[in-house]
Chains A and B, each alone.
Chain A
């Protein structure tokens, strides 16, 4: 419970209905999409505009109360779990599209806007906003920005950070910061816009964003290639890029995922395949046809067992089914699904998959791997049962080794889900002690009292065999 004075001041800002601290509200803001994590906040608040956010922050600052920004709570890193209590600030009531500037091809939006709604809206105007996390039907633009989310189109079009060109954000003391703007070029001082992208709610509360839009591709073609040899698939990925072709989508499923997907969707996939690549190219008709022909040749040269190219929209949808149902199929296998996002340079995909398989076997856990092969962003996904403490322990040990392996292969512990709570003990492995110190100084400069999403990104202790508390 917050102290009575603070409660009254917060209620005075948003009104009685948009400040809640009844048990039901606290329980329903104690979790996010991360398995097995839960902690109760002290209150939940729903601001309706930037000034309210600023006023709320001033009160929280004065009473030294932590604040956790929240979009739809779909993140997978414990990013919105209020581990140190405080107030969860839900951004859903700031969800307007403020402007679409057709001259500059930008859109200015509020952070609580649903990602899919936004994408559909700009598509209606004949424009294109490429970042498409699989959670986009649920997630918010603010959450996407705070996590720097990626998606299937990341390889060719980049991720959220490539489309955020201006921000309005409220600092811990309630000051309102504006960064960037509509100019595509801007070198006035440090790039605070990019610094806030991916800051996971630890530096400021984002209250408005100016996003870059691009013209949509005119034409798209989809193909699927299957391999008995994992390295053949991996070499295909490298060769495609070597030939200066950047496909719009280049997705990967490993053998264990193929089996699970086939069992679920009854697609009649050959179960002796070690890998499936799903490839899409978009752009002008001639260049798409040319690229798809070259990619097909590469697939065949690398001994793909089967190559199918979709000749129609329906066929394309069919080819996409395997990849699209991967998550659903895995999620239904066992009660608990842990989806990670260890990422390696794309030339190392085959090595990484083999490592994951070896590690899974060693710890006797089921881990299926699929993901964005084009940018080396893999999703090793463990299917388990939260109620089985002993098995969960083995799963955690396996993931720890997987993170280690990713870094050893020149990669990173998280490609798009963020550090949050879950990966904070491993951050130092990736960025080194100097990196941690610099990051801590940045945090100190923005949030000296450590009120913004405390306990995230920086672990109390960096990991060398400390048990993380996944309650």
Chain B
């Protein structure tokens, strides 16, 4: 006989889940299964528990007292990439991203027994480093010192990297040169539009972005001013809070959000432009993040409404400059969607449209370009096996395009693609580059 669906008293984690999880969203899932084919972890494993429908059912069962959430439950919640490919395909508009964050928040709150070094590094990252751009830059300086001083050579030679997990070892190789001076330090914080001004935009520079990809930030400014936008870069803006939110540190994310909102509001901008899908997505969700905060709710809405990705802004409102490839060789390019740009900011056409406009370049659509590459924030570190599998499949598809450039629009994806090319790809033949940098190099400037 079927085990009766008896409701047991909720265990402590279940009680935390019940407090955190949005019951409406849990009920909204009608279990139609339309999200199954979109989910990378379901596709890789074929197990329903590894699918969005399965994970929501687990959350609901925990709240309903049908399932006592245990270690396996926690692991399942962490197995999710948070890529949110399940959201655009959901007929019922279930806010899966919110549910998984609430679940992780409850788990984090419940977990007192992180191993000491996990606790310490979480604290160092979430409370000490990310919230402070100057500390990020300090890291940038250290990294730069490491890369440039010859220390890297020593470390590599001595095999010290072998002490680190495999993935970190591989990443160390492909990390771009870090910069100790961010975009503002290099080019200043206010830039006039070329020609008649269309609007004033605030650039969200991103904390990692500004250390590892400062040039991309500079190029973003150049593209925007060229297209008719005045650009301001509020200096006291800070980390977007995405990593906090996705890792169950909702309170940390909220305080970062409040600071950003204040700074951009004071700057009086028409748009808030992001060039990193991962940051942009959480910025568009500040309204949700602060929806229970009466004091900030309105300002959060003001902010969220104005957030837009650089490609989208160029296509929808800008005077798009013309782009041309200067080398005589026929150049082939392809594109890997940033999950959060596509699934949360719902922008997939604009970057493609811009890339296709470059003269002398052939755009080739990659099979399953919309599927997560496995980078997914810190997923690479926490679930190396699944991440590796996803990357391998991704690179099979990338190699099949036989292109020279693999473009993307998020720093995490970019690093993962570089890593992928190094590991499985045609390194030497194919390069991973941010869309903005690719376009900037080929932009014809107005005289």
B2 touching A39 by the CB < 8 A rule?
A: yes
B423 CB to nearest chain A CB (Å): 26
Chain B residue, CB-CB nearest to A38: B5
B93 interface contact, C-beta 8 A: yes
Is A93's CB under 8 angstroms from B27's CB? no
* In the complex, per-residue mask of B1-36: 1 if CB is within 8 Å of any chain A CB, else 0: 111010000000000000000001001101111101
- Asked if A33 contacts B3 (CB within 8 A), the reply is no
Measured between beta carbons, the chain A residues less than 8 angstroms from B70 are 23
Q: State whether the Cβ of B139 lies closer than 8 Å to any Cβ in chain A.
A: no
Report, as a range, how many residues of chain B touch the other chain.
20 to 34
Say whether B268 faces chain A, with CB atoms less than 8 Å apart: no
Asked if A199 is an interface residue, CB under 8 A from chain B, the answer is no
Main secondary structure of the interface of A (DSSP, over half): loop
Q: Contacting chain A: which of B42-50, B107-115, B356-364, B386-394? A: B42-50
Does B199 reach chain A (CB closer than 8 Å)?
Answer: no
Select from chain A the residue with minimum beta-carbon distance to B56.
A28
> Which B residues touch A41, using CB under 8 A?
2
Query: Is B54 on the interface with A (CB-CB < 8 A)?
Result: yes
Q: Are A23 and B27 in contact (CB under 8 A)?
A: no
Residue A137 interfacial (CB < 8 Å): yes
Instruction: Return chain A residues, CB-CB under 8 Å to B54.
Output: 28
Residues of A within 8 Å of B30, CB to CB, are 33, 35, 331, 336-337
Given known A23-B68, A84-B2, A138-B36, contact A28–B49 (CB-CB < 8 A): yes
A157, chain B: closest CB distance, angstroms: 24
Q: How far is the CB of B174 from chain A (nearest CB, A)?
A: 33
Q: Are B2 and A85 in contact (CB under 8 A)?
A: yes
Complex Cα gap A92–B45 (Å): 11
Instruction: Establish whether residues B93 and A332, one from each chain, have CB atoms under 8 Å apart when the complex forms.
Output: yes
Q: Does B379 contact A (CB under 8 A)?
A: no
Do B72 and A24 have beta carbons less than 8 Å apart?
yes
Chain B residues, Cβ within 8 Å of A336: 27, 30
Q: Decide yes or no: A327 and B91 within 8 Å by CB, A24-B67, A31-B57, A72-B33 being known contacts.
A: yes
Q: Does A135 contact B (CB under 8 A)?
A: yes
Q: Does A83 contact B (CB under 8 A)?
A: yes
A32 within 8 A of B: yes
B73 within 8 A of A: yes
| B49 close to A40 (CB less than 8 A) | no
- Asked if A46 is at the interface of the complex by the 8 Å CB criterion, the answer is yes
Interchain CA distance A161-B91 in the complex, whole Å: 28
Contacts A27-B61, A328-B91, A335-B27 given; does A92 touch B46 at CB 8 Å: yes
For residue B66, CB closer than 8 A to chain A, the reply is: yes
Cα of A369 to Cα of B158 in the assembled complex, Å: 72
Nearest Cβ in chain A — how far from B380, in angstroms? 24
A83, B1: Cα distance in complex, Å? 8
Q: A327 to chain B: which residues have CB within 8 Å?
A: 91
A74 on interface, CB distance cutoff 8 Å: yes
Choose one: B5, B24, B91; the contact of A39 (CB below 8 Å).
B5
Taking the nearest CB of chain A, how far is it from the CB of B61, in angstroms? 5
- Are A73 and B91 also in contact (CB < 8 A) when A82-B2, A335-B27, A387-B27 are? no
CB contact between A28 and one of B28, B48, B68 (< 8 Å): that residue: B48
Report the Cα distance A39→B53, complex, angstroms: 16
Q: How far is the CB of B249 from chain A (nearest CB, A)?
A: 25
Instruction: Check B72 against A42 for contact (C-beta < 8 Å).
Output: no
B125 at interface, CB cutoff 8 A? no
B348 contacts partner chain A, Cβ-Cβ < 8 Å: no
**A407 in the interface (beta carbon within 8 A):** no
- Interchain CB contact under 8 A, A138 and B92: no
Question: Is B37 a contact of A138 with CB atoms below 8 Å?
Answer: yes
In the bound complex, what is the Cα–Cα distance between A27 and B5 (angstroms)? 10
Please, what's the 1-or-0 string for A35-76, where 1 marks a CB less than 8 Å from any CB in chain B? 100111110001000000000000000000000000011100
Q: Do A33 and B31 contact each other (CB < 8 Å), given the known contacts A25-B47, A40-B2, A328-B91?
A: yes
Q: Which residue of A lies closest to B64 (CB)?
A: A38
Cα–Cα, bound, A336→B46 (Å):
27
Which residues of chain B have C-beta atoms less than 8 A from A83's C-beta?
Answer: 2
In the complex, what distance in Å separates the CA atom of A32 from the CA atom of B61? 14
List chain B residues, Cβ under 8 A from A331: 30, 32, 91-93
- A42, B31: Cβ atoms closer than 8 Å: no
**Cβ-closest chain B residue relative to A329:** B91
Smallest beta-carbon distance A6→chain B, Å: 15
Of residues 300 to 355 in A, which have CB atoms within 8 Å of B's CB atoms?
327-328, 331-332, 335-337
B58 within 8 Å of A (CB atoms):
yes
Question: Which residues of the other chain, B, contact A23 by a CB distance below 8 angstroms?
Answer: 67-68, 70, 72
Total interface residues on A, CB under 8 Å, equals 48
User: A385 contacts B27, CB within 8 Å?
Assistant: yes
- The reply to whether A84 and B67 contact each other, CB–CB distance below 8 Å, is no
* Nearest CB in chain B to that of A88: its residue: B48
A108 close to chain B: CB less than 8 A = no
Chain A proximity mask over B63-92: 1 for CB below 8 Å, otherwise 0: 000111010110010000000000000011
B96 → chain A, closest Cβ, in Å? Answer: 14
Selected from B31, B36, B72, the residue in CB contact (under 8 A) with A31 is B31
Check A332/B91 contact, CB under 8 A, given A25-B49, A33-B33: yes
User: Which residues of the other chain, A, contact B24 by a CB distance below 8 angstroms?
Assistant: 335
A114 touching B2, Cβ below 8 Å: no
Q: Is the CB of B3 within 8 A of A386?
A: no
B34 touches A138 (CB 8 A): yes
**CB-CB < 8 A to B72: which residues of A?**
22-24
A29 within 8 A of B: yes
> Does A215 sit within 8 A of B, measured CB to CB?
no
CA distance A46 to B1 in the complex (A): 21
Complex Cα gap A10–B48 (Å): 20
Shortest distance from the beta carbon of B257 to any chain A beta carbon, whole Å: 27
Chain A residue contacts of B36, Cβ below 8 A: 72, 138
Query: Chain A residues with Cβ under 8 A from B1's Cβ?
Result: 84-85
Q: A24-B76, A33-B32, A85-B2 are in contact. Are A386 and B27 (CB under 8 A)?
A: yes
- Shortest distance in angstroms between B2's beta carbon and chain A's nearest beta carbon? 4
- At the interface, yes or no: A124 with Cβ under 8 Å from chain B? no
Q: Please give, as numbers and ranges, the residues of chain B lying within 8 Å of A471 by CB-CB distance.
A: 5
Complex CA–CA separation, A121 to B237 (angstroms): 50
Q: Which of A25, A38, A387 has the most CB of B within 10 A?
A: A38
Most buried by A among B58, B67, B73: B67
A1-35 vs B, Cβ < 8 Å mask (1 yes, 0 no) = 00000000000000000001011111111111111
Between A28, A29, A42, the greatest number of chain B beta carbons within 10 A of the residue's beta carbon is seen for A28
Is the pair A27, B27 in contact by a Cβ cutoff of 8 Å?
Answer: no
A385 neighbours in B (Cβ, 8 Å): 27
Q: Closest approach, in angstroms, between the C-beta of B6 and any C-beta of chain A?
A: 10
A116 to B1: give the CA distance in the assembly, Å. Answer: 36
Assembled-state Cα–Cα distance A31/B31 (Å) = 8
Measured in the bound complex, the distance between the Cα atoms of B76 and A52 in whole Å is 28
Given the known interface contacts A84-B1, A331-B92, A335-B24, the answer about A93 and B46 at a Cβ–Cβ threshold of 8 Å is: yes
Pick from A26, A32, A40, A337: contact of B92, CB under 8 Å: A337
Residue pair A137, B37 in contact (C-beta under 8 Å): yes
Cα distance A32–B70 in the bound complex, in angstroms: 24
Q: Is the CB of A137 within 8 A of B2?
A: no
22 contacts between A and B (CB under 8 A): A20-B47, A23-B68, A23-B70, A23-B72, A24-B67, A27-B57, A27-B61, A27-B67, A28-B49, A30-B61, A31-B57, A33-B31, A35-B31, A72-B36, A73-B48, A85-B2, A85-B3, A90-B46, A135-B34, A335-B27, A385-B27, A386-B27
List 13 additional contacts besides A331-B91, A335-B24; criterion CB under 8 Å. Answer: A23-B70, A24-B67, A28-B49, A28-B51, A32-B31, A33-B32, A35-B30, A85-B1, A114-B37, A331-B32, A337-B30, A385-B27, A386-B27
Residues of B at the A interface (CB closer than 8 Å) are 1-3, 5, 24, 27-28, 30-34, 36-37, 46-49, 51, 53-54, 57-58, 61, 66-68, 70, 72-73, 76, 91-93
Q: State the A residues within 8 Å of B (CB).
A: 20, 22-35, 38-42, 46, 72-74, 82-86, 90, 92-93, 114, 116, 135, 137-138, 327-328, 331-332, 335-337, 385-387, 471
4 closest A-B pairs by CB: A85-B2, A28-B54, A28-B48, A335-B27
